[in-house]
């Protein structure tokens, strides 16, 4: 493991980069600014290593403008309608930083703070423990929340995220990781040819502002049925109201947990045919936000000068369902004093033959 300077955050705190490398050569670079996964180098079927996540070369670019490239998101990943929720009879007001809604923790969410970082090595691999204490009232949320996220790079080419949090007042918590993937490598082309399989029989339909309508919908007969291997681009242009509302895929899928809520189960399998790279996603979470890079428009210049055009990256954000604090039918995201928030997500990389 190597540690190096990445510059200074707007508040004056020093920011570092930690480079994790396993014996097979897989490499993850992580910074304690926003817990951002800066790069992830994995081999293709010919043994060539490429970076499979989008991002920037400099801290200044992440600070200036980033659509959550590689970031840890909190306190609440995804949207909360109109930046309001009621908890134990009291209404709380949050920033509306996504049109009329609250998104990904607000104006200064967990993606824009400096985390305390402690590197480690053990029999599971090597990694980084990131800790942040969010004070009572930060971004409008009640309670002091102590969050700990552990990144582990394993010997068998998996990157594991373990989330833990405690609070001194009831508060919503929904942490996630927001990497944009492109398994072709180096963000060099769109992701529409990636072949995905999702272990999800239902999805969350949304309105035109991306807020859930309050029910779950069967994927059968819809463009959201990825229970069999299907290219991301196969149906993305269909005349479908939900695709219009999301401007593509930007929806939460309800994962089939096999009757075991909270179990670590397979959520997704992704194959990039030209390189043979395969990514599997396993999670304890009940949902996964599938985002097809709809708002990438060529205006952002990323690593090594790459221009990120429309749909040059996709995200699979494992999490609870959007707007859960206002949706009584959805699994609760409320953490109370004395309870522990725990969640695990694992991204495993391999290759498929020609």
Catalytic residues: 178, 317
Q: Residue 225, annotated ligand binder?
A: no
DSSP label at residue 307: B
Non-local (6+) Cβ contacts of 201 within 8 A are: 218, 219, 220, 227, 254, 256
Q: Residue 240, annotated ligand binder?
A: no
Q: Residue 179, annotated ligand binder?
A: yes
> What's the CA gap between 216 and 220, in Å, rounded?
12
Q: Strand locations in 135-260, DSSP E?
A: 145-154, 158-167, 171-172, 176-178, 195-198, 200-203, 217-218, 230-231, 250-255
Q: Residue 76, annotated ligand binder?
A: no
DSSP label at residue 241: H
| Burial annotation 117-144 (CB, 10 A radius, 16+ → b, else e) | bebeeeeebbbbbbebebeeebbbbbbb
**Closest Cα to residue 147, out of 160, 162, 169?**
162
Q: Residue 292, annotated ligand binder?
A: no
Q: Residue 274, annotated ligand binder?
A: no
Q: Are 18 and 115 spatial neighbours (Cβ–Cβ below 8 Å)?
A: no
Binding annotation for beta-D-galactose: 78-79, 178-180, 250
């Amino acid at each position: 493991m190597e540690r190096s300077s990445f510059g200074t955050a707007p508040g004056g705190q020093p920011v570092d980069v930690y480079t994790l490398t396993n014996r097979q050569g897989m490499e993850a670079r992580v910074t304690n600014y926003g817990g951002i996964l800066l790069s992830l180098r994995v081999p293709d079927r010919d043994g060539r290593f490429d970076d499979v996540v989008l991002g920037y070369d400099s801290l200044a670019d992440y600070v200036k403008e980033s659509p959550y490239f590689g970031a840890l998101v909190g306190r609440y990943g995804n949207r909360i309608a109109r930046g309001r929720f009621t908890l134990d009879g009291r209404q709380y007001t949050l920033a509306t930083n996504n049109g009329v809604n609250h998104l990904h923790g607000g104006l200064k969410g967990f993606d824009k703070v400096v985390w305390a970082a402690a590197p480690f090595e053990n029999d599971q691999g090597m990694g980084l423990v990131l800790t942040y204490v969010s004070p009572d009232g930060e971004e409008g949320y009640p309670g002091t929340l102590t969050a700990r996220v552990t990144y582990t790079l394993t010997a068998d080419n998996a990157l594991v995220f373990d989330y833990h949090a405690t609070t001194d007042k009831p508060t919503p918590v929904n942490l996630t990781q927001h990497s944009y993937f492109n398994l072709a490598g180096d963000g060099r082309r769109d992701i529409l040819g990636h072949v995905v399989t999702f272990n999800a029989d239902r999805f969350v339909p949304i309105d035109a502002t991306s807020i859930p309508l309050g029910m779950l919908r069967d994927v059968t007969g819809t463009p959201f049925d990825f229970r069999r291997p299907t290219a991301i681009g196969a149906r993305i242009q269909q005349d479908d109201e939900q695709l219009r509302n999301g401007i593509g895929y930007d929806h939460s899928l309800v994962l089939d947990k096999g009757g075991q809520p909270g179990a670590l189960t397979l959520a997704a399998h992704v194959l990039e045919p030209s390189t043979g790279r395969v990514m599997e996603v396993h999670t304890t979470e009940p949902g996964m936000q599938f985002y097809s890079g709809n708002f990438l428009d060529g205006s952002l210049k990323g690593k090594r000068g790459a221009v990120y055009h429309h749909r040059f990256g996709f995200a699979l954000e494992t999490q609870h369902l959007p707007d859960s604090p206002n949706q009584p039918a959805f699994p609760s995201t409320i953490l109370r004093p004395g309870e522990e928030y725990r969640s695990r997500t694992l991204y495993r990389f391999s290759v498929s033959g020609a």
